[in-house]
Amino acid sequence: MKILVTGSNGLVGSHFVENYQSSKNIVILSPSQDELDITNLKSVKDFFKMHDPDTVIHFAAFTDVSKAEEQRNNKNAPCWIVNVEGTTNLIRSLNPDTFFIAISTDVIFSGSKENPGPYSEDETPEENPDLLSWYGWTKREAERQIINNIKNFAILRISNPVRSNYELKSDYVRKILTLYDSGKLYPMFNDQYLTLTYINEVTETLEVMLHKRPIGIFHASSSNLFTPHKLANLLIERARGKKDVVKPVSIEPFLKDNQSRYPQFGGLKVEQTEKKLGMKFRSWEEIIEDLATQLSA
């Protein structure tokens, strides 16, 4: 097996390349962006011609949600070009037998009161771009390109991915702890519902997928929903020994001006994935317990 991994320096992809237990007959190609820029079709085609991977795991993306919002509706700006055109360039370069796994997100769903989550693997993603962040809409479009153009594909959606040991980018729990440690932690939403993805479990899910090569849409996330307020309180209690220090606040006033930016009822369901792949995902409390011991001061 020859596996091409895009985005192997990122928060999620780097965990996979560092931890995937490859055997003798598995080669992992993990080019940097300089070696393989997915926005350049010719360079992608040349790379595939030279290396001929039989499996691709596509983590690479433009992931800065705030910057993406400044690019809303601009198809000449990086978020669209990387997430949609970059994915299309990979699709156009694949050999038809290649197994293509793409990492996607829960924010292809609105998380609104009218169509609340958590969402199952077979639910239809949001069709109205005005109800999604621009980042969410570009990932939704990337999914559409994959589903419409490849037979041998799997999409693995994740939500709020966390891990303990990655210094280049703060994940959801590290942001909360950093704010708490510097005395700047603001009140957290107590009426927003999301799921958490343990990046260790993304790597485990990908290992199973590489073995079983299933087709379709899969989710990797906590088996239950958290509110940011509850999660922050448990995290600080376990990692810093302080109980009930986080103040609650409602998300409602924030939604008035930013309906598309904040899913109130988001998150992913994992039952179908657990059944198809023979896996069991942790609860968010178990993920926090695991991380808190590693992030203790």
- Residue among 284, 85, 292 at smallest CA distance from 201: 284
Please choose, out of 36-44, 89-97, 180-188, 273-281, the segment that lies near ligand NAP by the rule CB under 6 A.
36-44
Question: Which helix (H) or strand (E) covers residue 92, if one does?
Answer: helix 86-93
Q: Which is nearer to ligand NAP, 19 or 250 (CB)?
A: 19
Please choose, out of 8-16, 112-120, 176-184, 272-280, the segment that lies near ligand NAP by the rule CB under 6 A.
8-16
Residue 33 near ligand NAP by CB under 6 A: yes
- C-alpha span between 7 and 258 (Å, rounded): 29
Please choose, out of 6-14, 122-130, 146-154, 247-255, the segment that lies near ligand NAP by the rule CB under 6 A.
6-14
Residue 103 near ligand NAP by CB under 6 A: yes
- C-alpha span between 198 and 293 (Å, rounded): 15
Q: Which is nearer to ligand NAP, 74 or 296 (CB)?
A: 74
- Residue among 290, 140, 94 at smallest CA distance from 201: 290
Q: At what angle do helices 134-149 and 86-93 cross, to 10 degrees?
A: 10
Report the nearest approach of ligand NAP to the CB of residue 39 (Å). Answer: 5
> Cα dihedral angle (165, 170, 172, 178), rounded to 10 degrees?
100
Residue 10 near ligand NAP by CB under 6 A: yes
Give the footprint of ligand NAP on residues 124-143 (CB under 6 A).
Answer: 139
Give the footprint of ligand NAP on residues 52-91 (CB under 6 A).
Answer: 59-61, 63, 82, 86
- C-alpha span between 163 and 295 (Å, rounded): 10
Residue 16 near ligand NAP by CB under 6 A: no
Question: Which helix (H) or strand (E) covers residue 44, if one does?
Answer: helix 41-51
Give the footprint of ligand NAP on residues 199-258 (CB under 6 A).
Answer: none
Q: What's the half-sphere exposure (Cβ side, CA atoms, 13 Å) at 61? A: 25
What b/e sequence results for 61-78 when a residue is b if at least 16 CB atoms lie within 10 Å of its CB, and e otherwise?
A: bbbeeeebeebbeeeebb
CB-nearest residue to ligand NAP:
10
Q: Which listed residue (132, 158, 176, 235) binds ligand NAP by CB under 6 A?
A: 158
Q: Which is nearer to ligand NAP, 167 or 244 (CB)?
A: 167
Q: Which is nearer to ligand NAP, 36 or 291 (CB)?
A: 36
Q: Which is nearer to ligand NAP, 172 or 180 (CB)?
A: 172
Q: Which is nearer to ligand NAP, 99 or 172 (CB)?
A: 172
- C-alpha span between 216 and 196 (Å, rounded): 21
- C-alpha span between 191 and 67 (Å, rounded): 26
Q: Token digits for 275?
A: 């059944």
Q: Which residue has the tokens 């302080």?
A: 242
Q: Which listed residue (9, 120, 149, 152) binds ligand NAP by CB under 6 A?
A: 9
Which residues contact ligand NAP by CB under 6 A?
6-7, 9-13, 32-33, 36-39, 59-61, 63, 82, 86, 103, 105, 139, 158-161, 169
